[in-house]
Chains A and B, each alone.
Chain A
Amino acid sequence: MRTAVVIPAFNEAEALPGVLAELAAAVPDHEVIVVDDGSSDGTVGVAAAAGVTCLRLPFNLGIGGALRLGFCFAAEEGFDRVYQFDADGQHDPSQIPVLLAGLENADMVVGTRFADGGESTYSVGRGRGFAMGLLRWLVRRATGRRFTDTSSGFRALRRPVLELFATDYPVEYMDSVEALLLAVRRGFTVIEVPVQMRERQGGQPSTRNLRLAYHYVRVLIVLAAGLGRRSRLGAAA
């Protein structure tokens, strides 16, 4: 079984070397695919120095676009399992086996920071807590299922979902919520597993509050409308 890890990176030259070194130590047999999302800080050089595959976007597409490219590449290269990993060091390589184990009986696995019984120590402020709670509730209404961490970017998928995401991945920010809906709606088995996460190790959060708020409202509208916006990759498929 061939496994690839997709790492979208936008100006993450600071934290990326550590992440790549950790991955090389923890999962040496996984193919690392860094998707450089139009960085200007030498992220590409970091990936090249580490000797991993690096796909270079000519300009910034946002995390959804970068992920779709990574999935598209992994699907074309014939990988069986793919998981997303953050370039900022937020995800813990020791949790990868936990995530992948979930694929034994699901098509897609979401690593959650908040699942009941989880030993998570990840904390969020009150405002963010409320926003995430509202999102959870709406996702529950839309999918009929309970997800505790809808925006988690620590996810693994196997072949059928990979092929879906290679062409139909929500390309706008807060793609993770929409991708969850898409997979559930297409009838795939999606489960959550409790994982531990860390604080980001370097770089800047990719989104400022106002933009975040805008996209949050956009996703609420998408949820309310009951259909996620998807984008087709046309001839690439």
Chain B
Amino acid sequence: MSGTAHLAFAVLALFALALIVRLVRLQALKAKYSVLWLTVGAALAVAAAVPGVLDWVADQVGVAYQPALFLLLGFGFLLLLAMHFSYELSRLETRVRTLAEQLALLRHELDSEQD
């Protein structure tokens, strides 16, 4: 990759990091996710800022074509993340459902008290 591209990606990674930090500070992102995303952001920033680090890692694990390693890691990460979100969504749905039922029961109780 050329120097210009590296610079561009470093800027992008920094931008992502700044966004994550901002979301965490606004408490728009739960801490458990912030750790995750900060790690990813930092890894991206390092990979972008230090030319050759990805090549070095690929060499160490024996991957001949370095971009493939990057794509593999990225894909695996996203897959795990999607699974985790499905799990969280299912749990949330169960809870929302239970809340709705409880709300209906309470509303009825309230109505019959007013009569």
Contact = CB atoms under 8 A, between A and B. Distances in A.
Band of interface residues on A: 20 to 34
Nearest to A231: B94
B103 A58 contact: yes
B34 to A, nearest CB: 28
Contact of A55 (B94, B97, B98, B104): B104
Interface in B86-100: 94, 97-98, 100
Interface string A42-75: 0000000000011111110100010011001100
Q: Chain B's interface: helix, strand, loop or mixed, by majority?
A: helix
Contact of A56 (B97, B102, B108): B108
Contact of A58 (B94, B98, B104): B104
A178 to B, nearest CB: 16
Interface in B47-87: none
B22 interface: no
A233 B99 CA distance: 9
Interface of B: 94, 97-98, 100-105, 107-108
The 3 lowest CB-CB distance pairs between A and B, nearest first, are: A55-B104, A69-B101, A57-B104
Interface of A: 35, 53-59, 61, 65, 68-69, 72-73, 76, 171, 231-236
